[in-house]
Amino acid sequence: DSGVTQTPKHLITATGQRVTLRCSPRSGDLSVYWYQQSLDQGLQFLIQYYNGEERAKGNILERFSAQQFPDLHSELNLSSLELGDSALYFCASSARGEGANVLTFGAGSRLTVL
């Protein structure tokens, strides 16, 4: 157990729908990162939050949004889902100071869009 908790583990939905993925970072970690892993795109950075504020943005589609709440958990919202959004979505967290460079990953949420 890495200490990063992601729910749900598996999710099956239809095209056009909206889903929310949830992440609780390791205790004490202020940064949360979201990654998408698919067979054709590999591991793609989506977005990073630090203590509630957006810190960096990667290849995140406009149909996707995220936020980090005061209790530091984060949610990734995926809307108007397409078949190509089927992927593993990972959350990672990192600490402050020297630990800020090291990412601790959750087990992922596997999204299947039918």
Cβ atoms of 87 and 108 closer than 8 Å: no
60 sits near another protein (criterion: CB under 8 A):
no
Kindly state the smallest distance separating residue 67's Cβ from another protein, in Å.
18
Kindly state the smallest distance separating residue 11's Cβ from another protein, in Å.
15
4 CB-near residues (< 8 Å, 6+ apart): 23, 24, 25, 26, 91, 92, 93, 104, 105, 106
Helix (H, G, I), strand (E, B), or coil: what is residue 52?
coil
Residue 105 main-chain phi, psi, to 5 deg: -100, 150
In angstroms, how far apart are the furthest CA atoms of the chain?
Answer: 43
Between 48 and 78, name the residue whose CB sits nearer to another protein.
48
45 sits near another protein (criterion: CB under 8 A):
yes
95 sits near another protein (criterion: CB under 8 A):
no
Q: Which stretch binds another protein (CB under 8 A): 19-27, 62-70, 72-80, 103-111?
A: 103-111
12 sits near another protein (criterion: CB under 8 A):
no
Contacts with another protein by CB under 8 A lie at 2, 4, 33, 42-43, 45, 48, 55-56, 90, 92, 100-108
